[in-house]
Structure formats: structure tokens, C-alpha cells
Copies of this chain bind each other. A is one copy, B any other.
Amino acid sequence: MNFLALLTSAGINIGLCSLFLMLYSILRKQPGNVNVYFGRRIAEEASRRSNSFTFERFVPSPSWIVKALQCKEEEILSVSGLDAVVFLRLIVFSMRIFCIAAVACVFGILPLNYFGQETKHKSFSSESLEVFTISNVQEESSWFWVHCLALYIISISACVLLYVEYKSIARMRLVHIRQSPNPSHFTVLVRSIPKSPEESYSDSVRKFFQKYHSSSYLSHQMIYKTGKVQKIMTNAEKAYRKFMHLKNIAIDQKCISGIHRCCLCAASSDTFQLQCNDFELNSKKTDLDHSNSSKIEKECSAAFVFFKTRYAAVIISDVLQSSNPMVWVTDLAPEPHDVYWSNLWLPYRQLWIRRIATLLASIVFMFLFLIPVTFVQGLSQLDQLQQKLPFLRGILKKTFVSQIVTGYLPSVILQLFLYSIPPIMMLFSTLEGPISHSERKKSAAFKVLYFTIWNVFFVNVLSGSVISQLNVISSPKGIPTQLAKAVPRQATFFTTYVLTSGWASLSSEVMQLFPLIWNLLKRYIFQINSDQLSIPSFPYHTEVPKVLLMGLLGFTLAILAPLILPFLLVYFFLCYVVYRNQILNVYCSKYETGGRMWPIMHNTTIFSLVLSQIIALGVFGLKKSPVSAGFMIPLVILTLLFNEYCRQRFNPIFKSLSAMNLIEMDQEDEQCGRMEEIHQQLHTAYQQLPPDEIDFCSGECSGSHELHENEGSRTIQLDDDKDQTNDDNDCRKPLEKIVPVA
């Protein structure tokens, strides 16, 4: 691929990108799309649609960019929470570090690479992209110290910037924790409550906490089995009961009407009446028994336990409760909106197996995915393709077509395959059994991240086009050399990857292609005009890995093929604008993790840095520049030490809450007399069912409700629909009303 092909590719992408952004700036002004582009705003403010037709609506304008840029960080923090801010900090960090890298590499290294060998240069446009990479520098050149210095500058600035970010995010997290009273701080999720033949789970929980933590125990709330299967069972049971009830009524009526007819037969009508009454009584009794026993059956061995202070809750969640670590497992509860209800009833004993199984499944999936990747790689080697599919030879001989096929198509196909990854990884993460949406998303993000790094970076780099070359990886010693050979060779592919995957994904993000199409279909084809608004939450599990992968490409290629850096910078700037806009207008944040994604981002950035240093080590080795190679080793060690320091210094804050903070917060609330109020709020904080069904249910279960209420526990028979739907496209259906039995 030569420089012209790259420019072609860039041109196509710039064109497409501008087109999409212009389209967006028009589409967002259409009143019909307000649901798609201003979901969060609408949810916040009152709906203010004006259908007035103005010409202005069809003129593209950059005002949204200005608006997105003008918004301050505090505003975003208050509007979308800390998680969004942390994500934007990652983009800011990337912009900063790649600005530094671009200055150092484009002005320092690019000329060195270009004039690295004393060959006569062709015209600039038909120059192969190879001449801009480090491969063009002669062996044993005395200029490698520049590359070495540039990598030192990049690494040190990255570490400094990372430290600053980590520190400020940690501070923001502490402020976030200290803000408004959060019910999850007072609540502990207890799982694996031991089964006792004499008493219900609820009684066990009450007894346990009254015995061991009587001074801080407030109340508890049982969790009920509400999986898909359970729901079908419950419905079947209800239908059966309803049927029995109707049957009874029918018999009743028959009995009454039968008094007259009974004269015809020998039996006295009185006895019949009696029998009927008996039957009715019995059936009512069994009904009652059944509802009681089924309640106990459906109670699962998990409960939310509320405590009087935050400190008590955090203590109980941290400390090993029983001498059998598999029972009375305590964790700090997730935020009410964050609870993933349908996983709460999973037996705790299964979880470790589930975790291992999903890990294995993800790894197997990672390797199965090699097949499409190999195919994609085949496209960039046109000769092979022509051999296999000879009928294409004619078309492929045209320059423009071949440029598109080599420079553009592979990325597009890869991209299409990659679209299927997040849902699959999300499924794996769900099967793992996390207790909160955020944990599930975090786990999915982790899987998608390593999947992407493996399949986009390593497989492309190491395999070339043949899977069998993968054996290289099984010899760890040869990895630096192999990477050093392969990475510069694949620089072109990665540059086009930034252009296609990066830029295009941003356009599609801002356009909200799928929701837009769905919205159009809904309005014009299906003629649905529901007021039910679906506001998606931010898809961290797809967006964080994308940005981090771009960072990885930037770090590894910065000194090898600096030509990627300008494109990357444009990508990150677009990122900044687009995601700010999306966070402000489209996505709503239903729950908060308080920036728990940052350690993943930090660790991945360190991984990218170390990888780039190891590749540089290999390259310097190949180019016979032992001094430069030698200088890489302390850099690797220092980077790893820096990471370890950050892990020691900041990571515990992201894992648990500190006693000092919690106690101070408790004391403040105690002094202000807010504690009572908070305790009151706790009782209604965690609801396994939306509020409108509680009233119904509390009516249905009033008997048992009264039984428990005095003893400080709440038992609400609930059903969940909401978390079976994917929370990204949370199109909440109007809830089915279940007809009460009596």
C-alpha cells in the first residue's frame, strides 16, 4: 500500500465522517428524532416538542460541537455522574499524551525514518508507506538514540499524566462517596444463608444478625426466586388456583341449583350441600397453606440486610462471618438501580464454577474468532486471494478497486464481525453471576477489551495470514523479536484501522444508527406512537475497549510508524466532542460505580506502554543497536514499578470504602438528626418489582406481611421483568397486571 492509497482511505473516511456529522446535525433538529438524540434531556426536563417547520431545520450546523465543548466538567459530573467523567478523563489523557507523542515523533522520528536509507525517493504520493516506518532506518544506525529518547519522553509523560489522573479521580471518588446518603452504604447483601428445617430463611437472617450484630442491625428484606422458569411456574400455579377457584364457584352454583334437582335421586340434598361446603373449606385452607408454603419455598437464600450506620455495613461486608466461608457470605450491596435481581437467587456455591466456565468459554471463543480474522488478513494479500478466487482477477486489476480492497475492506469486515462481540461477552458476563449491572458491564468490558487486544492487535500482528504461525506465541522468549518484525509490517493495516474502525464507529455512535432506524420503523411502518421512552445507559463495555485499543495502537506504533499519530489525534478529538455530546444528550446514568472503571483503564494503558517498550527492545535488537536496546530494560522496569506503586497507593480506594470517611459521614448525619430519615428511606430503597405492583402484591400477601412487619423484616412477593430485558435498549414494556385470586 502506498501513500496515495492511505490518502484515498483517509479521504473516503473524512468524507463519510463529515457526511455523517452533517446528517447528524440535521437529524437532531427533527422533532421526530428527539427520542433518539435527546433521551436524557427529555427524561430530565418536560417534553418540549415543537413541530413548527423552519428552513433552519435542514441546514447542517456545527452548533452542537460548540455546545459539547462549552460544557464544564462539573456540569457533566452533576448530570451524568462520575463514571462519565472518568471516561472523558481517559479521552483527555489520550489527547494529551498523543499530542506529546505526535510532537516528539512527527518532528523527531519521521524525518529520520524517511531519510534512513540513502535511496532515491520517489514522488511523495506514490511512496510506499514502509519508508515512513522504522524498517527504513539502516541497521547499526547511530540515530537510534532519537527513537530511544522519544520513547523515554512518551513513557515518562504517560506515567506523570496517569499519576495525575489517578490522583484526581481518586479524589473525585472520595467526594462522590461523601455526597448524598446512598442506601447501598447501609446495606449488605447476604448470600448462602444456611437452610434450616425448622425456620424460614427470613427467620434465620433475623436470628443471626440479632445474635451477632444486634447493636447495628436494622431490618432485612428477603430476595425471591424470579428467574424465567420461576415466572412460568408461578403463572402456571396462579392459573391452576384460578381454575380451582372458578371450579369451586361452579360447584357451588351447581349445589345451590342442585337442591331442587336432587329430589330425583335417592340422596338428601343437605348432604350434598355439606360435601360442597367441606370441599370449599378444604380448598380454601389448602389455598392458604399453599400460598404460605410456596412463599417459603420461593424465598431464596439471599437477603438485603440494612444496618444503622455505614460503618457497620462496611464492617460486616468485609469480615468473614462464619467459620464456613461458603455460608453467610456478605458483600456490600450495589446501588438500588444497579441491582441485577435475576442473579441474586443463584446459589453462591455455583458461582466459582460459573466464573471458571465463563472464563474458559471466553478463551475458547477468542480462539474460534481467529477464523474471520484470518479471512480478513487474506484480503490484504491480494495475490493469494486472486489465486483462490480467479474470477476476481479482472476486477482486482483496477487500481482503485485494489486500493479499496487492500486498504479499506479488511477493516470493514473485521469491524462487522467485531459488532457481535459485546453482546456475546455480555451474555458470558451475565452467566458469571454478578450481582449488579455495573459489575456485569465491567466484567464484559474486561472481556471485550482483552478480546479486542488479542484479536485485533496480536492475531493481526503475529499470524499474518496463516493461523499455523500462531505457534510463535508458544515460545515466550521469541515474542519481542517476532513482534518487532511484525508490528512495523502491519503499521499500514493499523493506520487504516484507525481511519475506518475509529472514525466510522464515532460517526455511527453520534448518528445512533440502530435507534434511529428503529425509531423510523416504529413511526412510519409499525405506526406505534408510544410515550414509553427508552433511555439507554452508556455502553461502557463497548466504548472503553475501543478507546483503549486506539491507545494501544498509538503507543506501540508511535516510534515505529509515527504516521499513525495525526490520524489518532483527530480520532481522539472527535471522540472528545462526540462522547461529551452523547453523555449530555443521549445516555442517562441510572447507577454509579464511582469511577471503578479507572483501574482497568490505567492497567491497560500501562500494558500498552510496556508492550511498546518490549517491541522497541525487539526492534533495536533486530537493528543491531545494543545500546538503545539496553536502555529499554530500565524503562520497562521503571514503568512496572510505577504501576505497582499506583496499585499500592490508589487501588484499595477503588475496592472498598475507608473507615475514616464512613465514620465521619455517620457522625455528621447523627449530629444533623438525618439518620432517622435515612433509615426510613432504606425500607423502600430496594424493590424487586416496580412500585405499582407492590401495592397489589402487598394486598395479596397481606397475611404474611403482617406476620413479619413487627419483627423488622419486609417480605414483598415480587416478580421482575425489567432486568430480563437488555439494559442498553431498555424499552420498558407496560407491565402486565396479574389478576388477583380472590
Chain B residues with CB below 8 A from A319, complex form: 314-315, 318, 656, 658-659
Number of copies of this protein chain within its complex: 2
Q: How near does chain B come to A62, taking the closest CB pair, in angstroms?
A: 42
- Tell me whether A212 is interfacial, beta carbon within 8 Å: yes
Chain B residues with CB below 8 A from A476, complex form: 474-476
Stretch at the interface among A18-26, A504-512, A611-619, A647-655: A647-655
Contact with B along A624-652 (1 / 0, CB 8 A): 00000000000000000100110011111
Contact with B along A657-681 (1 / 0, CB 8 A): 1111101000000000000000000
Closest residue of chain B to A208 (Cβ to Cβ) is: B660
- Tell me whether A55 is interfacial, beta carbon within 8 Å: no
- Tell me whether A174 is interfacial, beta carbon within 8 Å: yes
Q: How near does chain B come to A277, taking the closest CB pair, in angstroms?
A: 52
- Tell me whether A322 is interfacial, beta carbon within 8 Å: yes
- Tell me whether A352 is interfacial, beta carbon within 8 Å: yes
Q: How near does chain B come to A48, taking the closest CB pair, in angstroms?
A: 42
Closest residue of chain B to A323 (Cβ to Cβ) is: B658
- Tell me whether A321 is interfacial, beta carbon within 8 Å: yes
Q: How near does chain B come to A715, taking the closest CB pair, in angstroms?
A: 25
- Tell me whether A326 is interfacial, beta carbon within 8 Å: yes
Cα(A474)–Cα(B480), bound, Å? 13
- Tell me whether A740 is interfacial, beta carbon within 8 Å: no
Q: How near does chain B come to A175, taking the closest CB pair, in angstroms?
A: 10
| Residue of A319, A352, A353, A656 with most chain B CB atoms under a 10 A cut-off | A319
Cα(A679)–Cα(B649), bound, Å? 35
- Tell me whether A471 is interfacial, beta carbon within 8 Å: yes
Q: For chain A, residues 306 to 322, give those with C-beta under 8 angstroms from any C-beta of chain B.
A: 314-316, 318-322
Given the interface pairs A326-B649, A649-B325, A660-B212, the reply to whether A356 lies near B641 with Cβ below 8 Å is yes
Q: Are B325 and A356 in contact (CB under 8 A)?
A: no
- Tell me whether A477 is interfacial, beta carbon within 8 Å: yes
Cα(A477)–Cα(B472), bound, Å? 11
Chain B residues with CB below 8 A from A324, complex form: 649
Chain B residues with CB below 8 A from A649, complex form: 324-326
Cα(A516)–Cα(B251), bound, Å? 100
Residues of A within 8 A of B (CB): 170, 174, 212, 314-316, 318-326, 328, 352-353, 356, 471, 474-478, 641, 644-645, 648-653, 656-661, 663
The 6 tightest CB contacts between A and B, nearest first, are: A325-B652, A474-B477, A475-B475, A323-B658, A320-B658, A319-B659
